[in-house]
Amino acid sequence: MKKIALISIIMVAIVFSACFAYAGETAGYTVKPGDTLYGIGKRFGLHHSAIIETNKLDSTVIVPGMNLIIPSGEGVFHTVRAGETLYGISRKYGIRVREIKKQNNLATDLIVPGMQLVLPVGSGAADQQVQPVLSGYTSFGSDDILLLAKMIYAESRGEPLSGQIAVGAVILNRLKSEHFPSTIREIIFQRTKGVYQFTPVANGQINMEPDRSAFYAAERAIKGEDPTGGALFFYNPETSSDKWIKTLPVTKVIGNHVFAR
């Protein structure tokens, strides 16, 4: 019986060491097929720009087998102190126990001092850290970047990279304009006389998962890149039936889209 108990303790220790970084350490992660920086960031309760900065990446492009350093920090990782319980931690941050367990792959409520728990995105502490780290992201959160990438993917997948960045730039140009709503979400889901401004919102394609190129284009647009020359509108002349939009001054034609203001 003693041998079985000892084996059980060793197995628990192995599971803990595989799933957690401890105080003063950073976690490591090996990229798997299909991974994106956004998804990895969400897994660890981080904004993906923090991973970009920590690993000195030039873009969001990652490949299977790549080893990434996952930064730790107050408000993203909670270091367990003596006497703490999962229930107490859940009350402190306003997170359900089952959410913490799911985020950290915990099979039981057992936690030990020194363990660092990854707080789910949406918790009080994680929301503070989810604010962008890179200077180009100072006013955007992960939800904004995801939604912008979805918009870019829905509108311009298959277009050249400059065309994808251009779609993102139009959304951000609207954000700067007093004639449009004041958040990315409100701009993308804006309706005029009951009609959505963007076709992918109306037909549901906005809900498709964006690819790496769309995330990369979103990042470059957020950093200020604008191939459109300040456009506030875009359309495909082959498919658009809107006569008014075709009267606007054209600033650029990229791929299948005409950009105008």
In this structure, the answer to whether residues 118 and 149 fall within a common structural domain is no
Same domain, 249 and 202: yes
What's the one-letter identity of residue 156? S
Determine the pLDDT at residue 8: 44
Distance, CA of 99 to CA of 39 (rounded, Å): 17
Say yes or no: 157 and 100 in one domain: no
Phi/psi at 258 (5° precision): -105, 130
Q: What is the pLDDT along the chain (261 residues), one digit of tens a residue?
A: 544 444 443 344 333 333 334 333 456 778 888 788 887 877 776 677 778 878 888 777 888 888 888 775 434 567 788 888 887 777 776 677 888 888 777 888 888 887 777 766 444 444 333 333 333 333 567 788 889 999 999 999 989 999 999 999 999 999 888 899 988 999 999 998 889 999 999 999 999 989 888 888 988 898 889 999 999 999 998 888 888 999 999 999 999 999 999
- Report yes or no on 146 lying in a domain: yes
Domain boundary among 87, 109, 133: 133
Q: Tell whether 15 is covered by a domain.
A: no
Q: How far apart are CA 217 and CA 171, in angstroms?
A: 12
Looking at the structure, do residues 144 and 255 belong to the same domain, yes or no?
A: yes
Note whether residue 188 is domain-resident: yes
Q: Do the domain assignments include residue 14? A: no
**Pair (43, 126) in one structural domain:** yes
Domain total for the chain? Answer: 2
Residues 244 and 148 in one domain: yes
62 and 100 fall within a common domain: yes
Name the one residue in this structure whose structure tokens are 């190129």.
213
Residue 16 in domain: no
pLDDT value, residue 68: 85
Do residues 210 and 240 share a domain?
yes
Is 34 inside a domain boundary? yes
**pTM of the predicted structure, to 2 decimals:** 0.51
Residue 69 sits in the same domain as residue 39: yes
By DSSP bridging, strand 250-254 and strand 257-260 are: antiparallel
Full domain range(s) for residue 100? 22-133
Q: What is the rounded CA–CA span in Å between residue 55 and residue 70?
A: 8
Q: Residue 79 maps to which CATH number?
A: 3.10.350.10
Tell me, what's the pLDDT at 10? 38
